[in-house]
Amino acid sequence: METDTIAAISTPIGEGAISIVRLSGPEAIEIAAQIFDGKDLHTVASHTIHYGKIVDPKTREIAEEVMVSVMRAPKTFTREDVVEINCHGGLVSVNKVLEMVLAGGARLAEPGEFTKRAFLNGRIDLSQAEAVMDLIRAKTDKAMHVALKQMDGRLSRLIKKYRQELLETIAHVEVNIDYPEYDDVEEMSNDMMREKTKQVHDQIEQLLALAKQGKILREGLSTAIIGRPNVGKSSLMNTLVQENKAIVTEIPGTTRDIIEEYVNVRGVPLRLVDTAGIRETEDIVEKIGVERSRQVLKESDLILFVLNYHEELTEDDKKLFEAVEGLQYIVIVNKTDLSQHLDMNQVKELAKSQPIITTSLIEEKGVDELEKAIADTFFEGDLDAGDMTYVSNVRHIQLLKQAKQALEDAMAGLEMNMPLDLVQIDVTRTWEFLGEIIGDTASDSLIDQLFSQFCLGK
């Protein structure tokens, strides 16, 4: 069977903040070997793990220290060659490794694609595959809408519109320079250019702001429940699971079993990944200190921070407040059925502007309010995901960021009154970055389009 090599970030069971970039397919070992500085992955034995560095093949820059496992077909989850790159440095570096792997020729895996391959290659049976695929598909209805909208080409229509706006600007400057005798074409001024670039810049910025929500809809909001022992973390977890029909999957793999639980809270999929230090964190600060805890907690999109109404605030509570400072969290003051010992003013002061919800989980009170707070945090009210254009592809997000940066360079140039033909270089780069999103980059097509734009030389 002809297949390409796919890659994606997957979160393992394990210790601390480890993330894995997993590759599967005929080129998996080759692609990993290109960026791996360590043993020659081509020759290592199957099912072995190796320490080394990930090095950008172009810049020779070291991106990450990693452990790489090599598993040759057919004794793997997908029955293809599988490589797992274990990164410990958090989301930024794992994304960087993923980007390099994609640049090296792998394709970003679709949700469920590893499972699909396992099925196609006979590793699991249809009902197992379907269960996993259903889960992935039905995480929420909203996620479905986003996927459909994207297939509908909404994103590419928007990108084309931005490119057209930029192209008109580029063409305009070009005409001013190359054909100064065309006086029926108005001279492009610094102000006009500023207005045009800002317009497109702001629209891209908006798209990127929505990208975060897009990712959440697709992958679920990775959620940590933290608090001192006995405050009610497990009770909270159970409540969320029971009220919202958690879907538990076990994906059997050869090297490890991954267990994830999704709960759908008012359209927000919470992903409670059973990774030490992420799902339920009792004495994380105790174990690894405030700074390191912050690093771990930063990896989650949302933190549910539980306090006990029946006890005074302790030093450990305060340390947890320190660890979550600046992150997105909701304070849950639990056990309100018992007498009050907690100073709520002190809690309000420490929580700053983050929401505080009071609950009695034992009496099932406050759960609605909590669910509303979770939904509000990410949808800011009743935002209807179906009407929005989301970007959730890593590559697209990356290119949009680059496009935005190039426009900012252009705007900075305008600010310094740089000549327009220099500013134009950054505008052209923006046009190219956007083109990569929709797969249209040929630089001579710029020239073609310039001409079709103005019908010069007629």
Note the residues at the interface with ligand GDP (CB under 6 A). 227, 229-235, 334-335, 337-338, 360-362
Does residue 12 have a known ligand-binding role? no
Residue 308 binds: one of Zn ion, ligand GDP, none (C-beta under 5 to 8 A by kind) = none
8 A C-beta contact, residue 391 and residue 211: yes
Shortest reach from residue 300's CB to Zn ion, in Å: 17
235 binds, among ligand GDP, Zn ion, none (CB under 5 to 8 A by kind): ligand GDP
Q: Give CA–CA dist 189/173, Å, rounded.
A: 9
Q: Which single residue brings its beta carbon nearest to Zn ion?
A: 234
324 binds, among Zn ion, ligand GDP, none (CB under 5 to 8 A by kind): none
Whichever of 115 and 334 has its CB closer to ligand GDP, that residue is 334
Cβ closest to Zn ion, residue 95 vs residue 235: 235
Which entry of ligand GDP, Zn ion, none binds 231, CB below 5 to 8 A by partner kind?
ligand GDP
Of 200-259, which residues contact Zn ion (CB under 5 A)? Answer: 233-234
- Distance, in Å, from the CA atom of 305 to the CA atom of 351, rounded to the nearest integer, reads 10
Strand, coil or helix: 319:
helix
Binding partner at 396 among ligand GDP, Zn ion, none, C-beta below 5 to 8 Å by kind: none
Residue whose tokens read 């190219």 = 432
Which amino acid is located at 216 in the chain? I
Residue in this structure with the two tokens 């796919």, named with its chain if needed: 6
394 binds, among Zn ion, ligand GDP, none (CB under 5 to 8 A by kind): none
8 A C-beta contact, residue 395 and residue 155: no
Residue 338 interface partner, choices Zn ion, ligand GDP, none, CB cut-off 5-8 Å depending on type: ligand GDP
Tell whether residue 116 is among the known ligand binding residues: no
Q: How many CA atoms lie within 13 A of 235 on its CB side?
A: 20
DSSP class of 253: -
DSSP state of 203: H
How near is the Cβ of 338 to ligand GDP at its closest, in Å?
A: 5
Strands 247-251 and 6-10: unpaired
Residue 405: C-alpha distances to residues 29, 199, 240, 434 (Å): 34, 14, 41, 12
Nearest to 261 by CA among 244, 273, 253: 273
Q: Is 452 annotated as a binding residue?
A: no
419 is in an annotated binding site: no
CB of 269 to Zn ion, least distance (A): 23
Cα–Cα distance for residue pair 195/134, rounded to 1 Å: 47
Residue 332, phi-psi category: left (phi > 0), alpha (psi -120 to 50), beta (remainder): beta
d(CA 247, CA 264): 9
Please state the closest distance from residue 309 (CB atom) to ligand GDP, in A: 8
Positions in 50-79 near Zn ion (CB under 5 A):
none
For the record, the structure tokens of 83 come out as: 């490589």
Shortest Cβ distance from residue 358 to Zn ion (Å)? 20
Q: Is 250 marked as binding a ligand?
A: yes
Closest CA to 284 of 300, 269, 308: 300
E strands within 266-403?
268-273, 280-281, 302-308, 329-334, 356-359
Q: How far is the CB of 359 from Zn ion (least distance, A)?
A: 16
User: Is 123 annotated in some ligand binding site?
Assistant: yes
Residues 7 and 106: beta-carbon distance below 8 Å: yes
Strand ranges (E), 72-204: 82-87, 107-108
When the beta carbons of 271 and 335 are compared against ligand GDP, the nearer one is: 335
What is the rounded distance in angstroms from the CA atom of residue 301 to the CA atom of residue 218? 13
Of the pair 23, 332, the CB lying nearest ligand GDP is at: 332
Closest contact distance (angstroms) between CB of 236 and ligand GDP is 7
How many residues in the chain? 458
Rounded to the nearest whole angstrom, what is the least distance from the CB of residue 158 to ligand GDP in the complex?
A: 45
Q: How far is Cα 323 from Cα 413, in angstroms, rounded to an integer?
A: 40
| Residue placing its CB nearer to Zn ion in the complex, 210 or 297 | 297
Q: Is residue 163 marked as binding?
A: no
Which is nearer to ligand GDP, 275 or 334 (by Cβ)?
334
- Asked if residue 59 belongs to a known ligand binding site, the reply is no
Cα distances (angstroms) measured from residue 345 to each of 46, 219, 334, 348, 352? 59, 36, 16, 5, 11
The answer to whether 48 is a known ligand-binding residue is: no
22 is in an annotated binding site: yes
Q: Which residue has the tokens 């980059």?
A: 441
Chosen from Zn ion, ligand GDP, none, partner binding at 117 (C-beta under 5 to 8 Å by type) = none
Shortest distance in whole angstroms from residue 154 CB to ligand GDP: 43
> Quick one: 269 or 366, whose CB is closer to ligand GDP?
366
Residues annotated within a binding site: 22, 84, 123, 230-235, 249-255, 274-277, 458
Residues annotated within a binding site for K(+): 230, 249, 251, 254
- For Zn ion, the binding residues (CB under 5 A) are 233-234
Residues annotated within a binding site for Mg(2+): 234, 255
Residues annotated within a binding site for (6S)-5-formyl-5,6,7,8-tetrahydrofolate: 22, 84, 123, 458
